[in-house]
Structure 1
Amino acid sequence: MKILIADDHELFRDGLRHVLGQLGEQLTIVEACDYGDLFAVARSGSDFDLVLLDLTMPGAEWAEGLRQIKEILPGTPIIVLSAADDRRHVLQAVNMGASGFIPKSSPSRVMLSALRLVLSGGVYLPPALIEPQGPGGDSFNPVATEQAISFLTPRQREVLALLGQGKSNKEIARSLELAEGTVKLHVTAILKALGVNNRTRAVVAASQMGLNETEV
């Protein structure tokens, strides 16, 4: 397994290497200390299994940095690691295709579970940061979401609830005793019904509609 860590604080990178060592995998860890370094390393090889990205690094605004790394490594899941746990950043990162958002204040146990979840094809988002907001908040329009969910079949609602727990297609297939290909078809239909373009956004929708608790 090959993981790219991008963070401008050497002490945090050292701590993260220690956490990653507990995954029990044979790891190759590559490091970058700013966005320029990150882009250069990413372009030098596309065989990364995971990118762990600190938002606030020198070299680029974070949204532009995330956009560029998504373009360079389009098939690689990216987990945002940030000391800032502003839910607006979480939702913006989700909209841009991040597969997870882990506050740096998270205990190592939570971080490990989140990493395993994303590596298995799932999604991790901190539950407290995707709860529904009041008027003027950054959440989905609840009425529109309820209407969209009303068009889903009972089986698709079950799939959405498990999506909301961050589970991968393989885990959903096992839980519901379905073929993985069938789960993929359900997920495609759910994304279309909700008007979203990735499963991470569907996780937010499921959580905000109270279909589940997103936990690790």
Structure 2
Amino acid sequence: MFRLLICDDHPAIRVGVRTAARSAVPQCEVTEAGTAAQVLQLLQGPQPFDLLILDVKLPDRSGLSILDEIRALRPQLHVWVTSGEQSEAFMAAALNGGANGYLPKSVSEAVLAQALRDASTGRIILPANYARRSQPAWDPARAQSSAAAMLQGLGLTPRQQDVLKCLLRGQSNKQIARSLDISDGTVKTHTAAIFNALGVNSRANVIVKCSSLGIPLEAC
């Protein structure tokens, strides 16, 4: 069961997301809220959720202003912020505020459906123009060499570099553990070390930071 919570004050938006979710993810359970107060009340209750899609412009409070409260109530909950605003500064504010991903309201139904399928496996959602900023023309051999050199320069152990590459592919902890044949606990330990080395506090910001450092994400 994939449990989705949608918080948006526009009923038409909630209907569109609900329809896409139920079409994209089998056995998707959808709960809806229209205000910041309603979503916080739901999160204070016993009902479990896997993903919250949170609109920024709510009638009672900004979605960004309640991210700290959401994190205090549900530290493990994945939260996507959604808005019509697509500037890098705005997206950075959302990610630094505690969001796990960012979903522009301009995305097509097909992109939304794929994002929801990805979310059900724990992948990170960021607009392509933000996560993968403009880089030189793609040269696989040069990119592989550049990525390896830059990863070594971060001061990470070889195994931590392997985990970082998996993070940059958007893999969940369970997927990383399976790929590298290590335990979930070891993945968490390596991930914490990676966060510390990069000076970030979320998986989404790992992608953003590596992109800003010029690490060719396609080579990882």
Structures share a fold, TM > 0.5?
A: yes
C-alpha separation in 1, matches of 2:133 and 2:102: 17
Q: Quick one: which of 164, 167, 170 aligns to 1:163?
A: 167
* Residues 159 and 211 of structure 1, relative CA distance in 2, 3 Å threshold: farther
**How far has the Cα of 1:132 moved from its partner?**
5.4
Asked whether the equivalents of residues 196 and 202 of structure 1 are also in contact (C-alpha less than 8 Å), the reply is: yes
* Residues 184 and 70 of structure 1, relative CA distance in 2, 3 Å threshold: closer
1:201 matched residue in structure 2: 205
**How far has the Cα of 1:155 moved from its partner?**
3.1
1:43 partnered with 2:74: no
Q: How many residues align?
A: 202
SS at match of 1:150: coil
1:210 partnered with 2:215: yes
What residue identity is the alignment partner of 1:204? V
Alignment of 1:16-31 (within 5 A): 16-31=17-32
1:141 matched residue in structure 2: none
1:72 matched residue in structure 2: 73
* Residues 75 and 177 of structure 1, relative CA distance in 2, 3 Å threshold: closer
C-alpha separation in 2, matches of 1:110 and 1:175: 26
SS at match of 2:217: coil
**How far has the Cα of 1:89 moved from its partner?**
1.9
Asked whether the equivalents of residues 3 and 48 of structure 2 are also in contact (C-alpha less than 8 Å), the reply is: yes
**How far has the Cα of 1:19 moved from its partner?**
0.3
**How far has the Cα of 1:147 moved from its partner?**
9.2
Unaligned runs of 5+ in 2: 135-149
Asked whether the equivalents of residues 4 and 31 of structure 1 are also in contact (C-alpha less than 8 Å), the reply is: yes
- State the identity %: 35
Alignment of 1:108-123 (within 5 A): 108-123=109-124
C-alpha separation in 2, matches of 1:2 and 1:207: 31
SS at match of 1:151: coil
* Residues 97 and 119 of structure 1, relative CA distance in 2, 3 Å threshold: farther
C-alpha separation in 2, matches of 1:189 and 1:82: 32
C-alpha separation in 2, matches of 1:213 and 1:100: 19
SS at match of 2:32: strand
TM-score, with normalisation over the residues of structure 1? 0.81
Asked whether the equivalents of residues 3 and 27 of structure 1 are also in contact (C-alpha less than 8 Å), the reply is: yes
2:103 matched residue in structure 1: 102
Asked whether the equivalents of residues 52 and 81 of structure 1 are also in contact (C-alpha less than 8 Å), the reply is: yes
Asked whether the equivalents of residues 207 and 213 of structure 1 are also in contact (C-alpha less than 8 Å), the reply is: no
SS at match of 1:53: strand
**How far has the Cα of 1:119 moved from its partner?**
3.0
Deviations 1:54-101 (A, max 9, x none): 111111133212222222322211111222112212111111221111
C-alpha separation in 2, matches of 1:110 and 1:94: 20
What residue identity is the alignment partner of 1:39? L
**How far has the Cα of 1:36 moved from its partner?**
2.1
What residue identity is the alignment partner of 1:212? L
Alignment of 1:54-203 (within 5 A): 54-131=55-132, 149-203=153-207
What residue identity is the alignment partner of 1:25? P
TM-score, with normalisation over the residues of structure 2? 0.80
